[in-house]
């Protein structure tokens, strides 16, 4: 069960953050002022209770994609909102670590466990990548923006300090679920916006999405606008969890009505992932379902009637959720608006992406990337090139007008992290 007041409060605060982010894009000076005020509030809340800062960090992680909903220009560096939140949470945690002996004890106990030792090995590998990058004379900026993708793992330390707080997991689930729901609604809002050609009237929406690193919007034929947000990866994880819950809980006709909120949540996630047009997400979901089907055999070493029934139930629910989600995305795209009429969405255009592995810009660029990558790996297969290394590649492709009107090919480097 979720904590409903926490769910609602999180939703409203994140919605306010989205509105502030958009207005900050229009008026940059407002963005800097809002950044300082928001971080000051977060600092005060985190000093009051460390777990609040942890909740905020994970909520922003779910909705913020690359973390640049707000930025503070400092010289030649833009300090992202995510980086500011991270620094606040880690600084307050370190203060607790120094002052309170029980915090140090909890950390010491964790790192004596198998998982803790694995984390140490992983941290050493990251450290080696930094050292290797420095010895290979890569620029500091390139090294930082490469390794910062992994720095968010340090939030494990404050997590270990606050996870025993009463109702922590219930509140954390409520916060993350609320953020995921807002992200899904935001995706559907963008579907509505771009399927009705409102973007011709208000281009700042498009530039806000692109310039803040929230995502990419690509218009295809048939009135289809692919709405890809990096944070939609959390919908893949969320969908798998919700499908598992539905499989366990739905055992009869009455149970379908009792779990209506789960059905709606799953449909929202599917609608968002369908609108993303991301083959990677789709393949991940299918692979996860196949793994879930064979998991009973892996765990027990044999196939039983009970596991077979659960597998059939999982597949049945997955199909129903998939159909509901696609219908939801379609309904949002074609709903009539005053003065604009109905929108358009050719579902087959997005569906074709699932079976297109050649002759398309995004696919061709990735296939062309493999040979240069393997060539660079061969230069130093064990020690590696370190963080900050880059690979340059080129490709040739014929883009047919009937398939793609606009193709947006992102740079090779994907800067997430803080």
Query: Do the domain assignments include residue 398?
Result: no
* Spatial distance between the Cα atoms of 178 and 153, rounded to a whole number of angstroms: 22
38 vs 292, more confident:
38
Instruction: State how beta strands 225-229 and 215-219 pair.
Output: antiparallel
Range from 136-140, 359-363, 368-372 that averages highest in pLDDT: 136-140
60 and 77 within one domain = yes
At 378 the pLDDT is 84
For residues 256 and 146, membership in a common domain is answered with no
Average pLDDT of the residues in 221-235: 83
* 127 and 29 within one domain: yes
Note whether 217 and 331 are same-domain residues.
yes
* SS3 category, 413: coil
Structural contact between residues 246 and 286, judged by C-beta atoms closer than 8 angstroms: no
- Count Cα atoms within 13 angstroms, Cβ side, for 114: 0
Q: Is residue 377 part of a domain?
A: no
Lowest mean pLDDT segment, chosen from 175-189, 193-207, 212-226, 243-257: 243-257
* Shared domain check, 189 and 137: no
Among 157, 175, 193, residue at a domain's last position:
175
Return the CA Rg of the chain.
Answer: 23
**Of the candidates 126, 149, 175, which is a domain's last residue?**
175
Higher pLDDT, 283 or 91: 91
Of 184-188, 252-256, 326-330, the range with the lowest mean pLDDT is 252-256
pLDDT range class, residue 92, cuts 50, 70, 90: very high
CA distance 98 to 335: 57
148 and 265 co-located in one domain: no
- Of 244 and 199, which is predicted with more confidence? 244
For residues 15 and 149, membership in a common domain is answered with: yes
pLDDT for 409:
35
Q: Domain range for residue 117?
A: 4-175
402 domain residue, yes or no: no
Q: What is the mean pLDDT of residues 61-90?
A: 91
Report yes or no on 418 lying in a domain.
Answer: no
Burial class, 115, CB count within 10 angstroms (exposed 0-12 / middle 13-18 / buried 19+): exposed
- Looking at residue 411, what is its pLDDT? 36
Q: Which residue has the higher pLDDT, 166 or 80?
A: 80
What 281-287 contacts at long range (C-beta under 8 Å, 24+ apart), as own/partner pairs, is 281/232, 281/233, 281/235, 281/236, 282/354, 284/236, 285/236, 285/239, 285/240
- Mean pLDDT value across residues 271-300: 85
Predicted confidence (pLDDT) per residue in 138-163, tens digit:
888 888 888 887 888 899 999 999 99
The CA–CA distances, whole Å, from 215 to 16, 99, 275, 310, 352 equal 19, 41, 12, 37, 22
Residue 304: band (very low, low, confident or very high) from pLDDT cuts 50, 70, 90: confident
CA 177/CA 22 separation, integer angstroms: 23
- Phi, psi angles (nearest 5°) of residue 67: 95, 10
Percent of all residues in the chain with a pLDDT value above 70, rounded to a whole number: 83
- Give 179: exposed, middle or buried? Use CB within 10 Å, 0-12, 13-18, 19+: buried
218-232, 246-260, 383-397: the lowest-pLDDT one? 246-260
Strand (E) or helix (H) holding 269: helix 260-276
Is 219 inside a domain boundary? yes
Same domain, 198 and 339: yes
Q: Within a domain: residue 242?
A: yes
User: Looking at the domain assignment, is residue 29 inside a domain?
Assistant: yes
What mean pLDDT, rounded, does the chain reach? 83
Average pLDDT over residues 370-378: 82
H-only helix segments in 136-232: 140-151, 156-162, 168-195, 204-211
Residue 46 above 70 pLDDT?
yes
Assigned domain for 259 exists: yes
Q: How far apart are CA 215 and CA 209, in angstroms?
A: 6
Same domain, 232 and 165: no
Most trustworthy range by pLDDT among 105-114, 390-399, 408-417: 105-114
360 pLDDT more than 90: no
pLDDT at 278 over 50: yes
Domain count, the chain: 2
User: Domain boundary at 350, 382, 407, which?
Assistant: 350
For residues 39 and 180, membership in a common domain is answered with no
Q: Give the distance, in angstroms, between the CA of residue 71 and the centroid of all CA atoms in the same chain.
A: 19
268 and 146 within one domain: no
228 and 321 fall within a common domain? yes
């Amino acid at each position: 069960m979720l904590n409903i007041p926490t769910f609602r409060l999180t939703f409203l605060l994140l919605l306010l953050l989205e509105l502030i982010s958009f207005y900050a894009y229009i008026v940059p000076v407002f963005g800097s002022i809002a950044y300082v005020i928001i971080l000051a509030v977060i600092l005060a809340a985190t000093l009051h209770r460390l777990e609040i800062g942890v909740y905020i960090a994970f909520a922003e992680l779910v909705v913020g994609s690359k973390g640049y909903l707000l930025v503070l220009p400092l010289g030649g560096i833009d300090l992202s909102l995510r980086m500011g939140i991270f620094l606040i949470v880690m600084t307050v945690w370190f203060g607790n670590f120094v002052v309170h002996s029980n915090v140090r004890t909890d950390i010491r106990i964790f790192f004596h466990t198998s998982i803790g030792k694995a984390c140490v090995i992983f941290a050493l590998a990251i450290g080696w990548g930094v050292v290797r990058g420095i010895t290979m004379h890569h620029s500091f900026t390139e090294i930082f923006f490469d390794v910062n993708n992994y720095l968010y793992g340090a939030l494990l330390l404050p997590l270990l300090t606050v996870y025993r707080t009463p109702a922590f997991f219930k509140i954390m689930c409520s916060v993350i679920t609320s953020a995921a729901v807002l992200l899904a609604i935001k995706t559907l809002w963008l579907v509505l916006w771009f399927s009705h050609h409102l973007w011709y009237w208000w281009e700042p929406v498009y530039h806000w999405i692109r310039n803040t690193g929230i995502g990419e919007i690509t218009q295809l034929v048939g009135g289809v606008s692919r709405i890809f947000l990096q944070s939609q990866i959390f919908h893949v994880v969320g969908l798998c969890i919700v499908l598992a819950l539905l499989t366990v809980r739905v055992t009869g006709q009455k149970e379908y009505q009792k779990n209506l909120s789960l059905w709606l949540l799953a449909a929202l996630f599917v609608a968002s992932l369908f609108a993303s047009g991301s083959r990677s997400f789709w393949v991940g979901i299918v692979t996860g379902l196949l793994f879930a089907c064979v998991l009973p055999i892996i765990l027990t070493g044999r196939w039983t009637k009970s596991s077979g029934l659960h597998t059939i139930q999982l597949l049945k629910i997955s199909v129903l959720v998939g159909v509901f989600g696609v219908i939801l995305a379609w309904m949002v795209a074609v709903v009539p608006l005053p003065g604009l009429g109905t929108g358009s969405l050719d579902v087959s255009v997005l569906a074709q992406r699932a079976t297109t592995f050649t002759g398309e810009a995004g696919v061709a660029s990735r296939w062309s990337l493999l040979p240069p990558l393997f060539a660079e790996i061969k230069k130093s297969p064990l020690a590696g090139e370190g963080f900050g290394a880059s690979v340059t590649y080129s490709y040739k492709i014929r883009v047919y007008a009937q398939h793609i009107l606009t193709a947006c090919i992102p740079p090779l480097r994907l800067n997430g992290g803080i």
